[in-house]
């Protein structure tokens, strides 16, 4: 049994190589262990004071978002709020101020819950995950990373160091909306993110929609771009809703039935597309869009 505190990525990688599990904020790992979901790993390496894992930086390929960015930082970061707004919408909804200060983006992504709030936004914004181990590094799409509920394809020796986002372009907007029964300490009943780019004439030039809590992993909606390009923003929403409801594969649990989830995911997808298109058109809608438009409550 061991607990070490790493201050550099290299130190953390050596500990992972020796079999330790990383702990960032612990809001999934420790809470899960206390629930009896999985025992607390015997060997842990704390990664929460590794400076290299923080920050949002613009680079030639776009933007690098450090795995250690907390939800509280993401929801107020000027680059994220300005150009990758759906991520800020999501982070602003996580838990409570305490959860948002200690919980990290990397933990959210690597925990692999199908209901994770940042997953659908990262997917529509085409984020890629940079994984590093003692033997090297590789960058994978999120689609390749998430393998099922609570499972990723990362090896135990790999640390998620950053998420990479492509450069933001003109007349692009994004939004994340989740259905919730209360305004704090909630898990998405279902959630939908959209990224929309508008052409000069105001019609849709490109669009992506992804869904949370309706499949074993975050679900990217197929065919949505083909179906929506060239339509007006107003006409796009209902089509996105129909595709989302059709492709969702929700379960029934104590929070909602599969039928209710399938219906509501369409409603959320439409609202996400509408809000993303309004942002693409230059309208400023405060983060989180759930609150400023009052569109996420059951």
Partner 1 sequence: MTTSYELDVNGVTYPVTADQGKNLLSVIRENVGLTGTKEGCDDCECGACMVLLDGQPLNSCSYLAVQAQGRQVTTIEGVMDGPEMHALQRNLLEAGGVQCGFCTPGMIMSAKALLERDARPELDAARIGLSGNLCRCTGYAKILSAVEATAVELNT
Ligand X SMILES: Cc1cc2nc3c(=O)[nH]c(=O)nc-3n(C[C@H](O)[C@H](O)[C@H](O)COP(=O)(O)OP(=O)(O)OC[C@H]3O[C@@H](n4cnc5c(N)ncnc54)[C@H](O)[C@@H]3O)c2cc1C
Q: How far is the CB of 172 from ligand X (least distance, A)?
A: 24
Q: Is 128 helix (H, G, I), strand (E, B) or coil?
A: strand
Q: Measuring CA to CA, how many Å separate 290 from each of 5, 94, 183?
A: 37, 12, 9
Name which of ligand X, partner 1, none residue 93 binds, using a CB cut-off of 5 to 8 Å depending on partner kind: ligand X
Question: Strand locations in the chain, DSSP E?
Answer: 2-5, 21-23, 43-46, 56-59, 62-66, 128-133, 136-141, 146-148, 151-152, 159-165, 172-179, 190-198, 204-212, 219-220
Q: Is 57 within 8 Å of 64 (Cβ atoms)?
A: yes
Nearer to partner 1, 27 or 174 (CB): 27
Q: How far is the CB of 34 from partner 1 (least distance, A)?
A: 6
Nearer to partner 1, 137 or 292 (CB): 292
Name which of ligand X, partner 1, none residue 40 binds, using a CB cut-off of 5 to 8 Å depending on partner kind: partner 1
Using CB under 6 A, list all residues that contact ligand X. 21-29, 31, 47, 67, 93-95, 99, 102-104, 106-108, 110-111, 116-117, 159-160, 185-187
Q: How far is the CB of 197 from ligand X (least distance, A)?
A: 26
CA-wise closest residue to 158 among 5, 2, 9: 9
Name which of ligand X, partner 1, none residue 46 binds, using a CB cut-off of 5 to 8 Å depending on partner kind: partner 1
Q: How far apart are CA 205 and CA 93, in angstroms?
A: 29
Q: Measuring CA to CA, how many Å separate 210 from each of 11, 174, 254?
A: 36, 11, 23
Name which of ligand X, partner 1, none residue 285 binds, using a CB cut-off of 5 to 8 Å depending on partner kind: none
Q: What are phi and psi of 151, to 5 degrees?
A: -130, 140
Nearer to partner 1, 27 or 245 (CB): 27
Nearer to ligand X, 63 or 198 (CB): 63
Q: Is 206 helix (H, G, I), strand (E, B) or coil?
A: strand
CA-wise closest residue to 120 among 101, 146, 140, 102: 146
Nearer to partner 1, 98 or 155 (CB): 98
Name which of partner 1, ligand X, none residue 183 binds, using a CB cut-off of 5 to 8 Å depending on partner kind: partner 1
Nearer to partner 1, 102 or 227 (CB): 102
Using CB under 8 A, list all residues that contact partner 1. 1-3, 5, 23, 26-27, 30-31, 33-35, 40, 44, 46, 48-49, 72, 95-99, 101-102, 183-185
Name which of partner 1, ligand X, none residue 229 binds, using a CB cut-off of 5 to 8 Å depending on partner kind: none
Q: Whats the size of the chain, residue-wise?
A: 298
CA-wise closest residue to 25 among 68, 55, 65: 68
């Amino acid at each position: 049994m061991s607990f070490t505190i790493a201050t550099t990525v290299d130190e953390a990688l050596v500990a992972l190589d020796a079999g330790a599990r990383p702990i960032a904020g612990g809001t999934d790992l420790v809470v899960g262990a206390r629930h009896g979901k999985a025992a607390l790993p015997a060997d842990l390496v704390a990664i929460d004071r590794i400076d290299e894992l923080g920050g949002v930086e613009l680079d030639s390929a776009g933007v690098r978002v450090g795995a250690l960015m907390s939800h509280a930082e993401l929801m107020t970061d000027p680059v994220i709020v300005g150009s990758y707004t759906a991520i800020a919408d999501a982070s602003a909804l996580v838990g409570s101020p305490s959860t948002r200060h200690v919980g990290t983006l990397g933990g959210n992504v690597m925990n692999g819950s199908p209901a994770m709030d940042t997953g659908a936004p990262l997917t529509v914004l085409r984020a890629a995950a940079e994984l590093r181990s003692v033997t090297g590094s590789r960058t994978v799409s999120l689609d390749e990373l998430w393998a099922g509920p609570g499972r990723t394809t990362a090896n135990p020796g790999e640390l998620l160091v950053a998420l990479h986002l492509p450069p933001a372009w003109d007349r692009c907007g994004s939004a994340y909306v989740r259905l919730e029964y209360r305004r704090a300490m909630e898990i998405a009943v279902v959630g939908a993110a959209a990224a929309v780019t508008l052409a000069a004439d105001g019609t849709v030039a490109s669009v992506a929609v992804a869904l949370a809590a309706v499949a074993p992993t975050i679900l990217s909606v197929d065919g949505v771009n083909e179906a929506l390009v060239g339509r007006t923003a107003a006409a796009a929403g209902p089509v996105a809703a129909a595709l989302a409801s059709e492709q969702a594969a929700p379960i029934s649990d104590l929070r909602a039935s599969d039928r209710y989830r399938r219906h509501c995911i369409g409603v959320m997808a439409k609202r996400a597309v509408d809000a993303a298109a309004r942002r693409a058109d230059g309208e400023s809608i405060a983060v989180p869009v759930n609150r400023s438009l009052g569109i996420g409550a059951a």
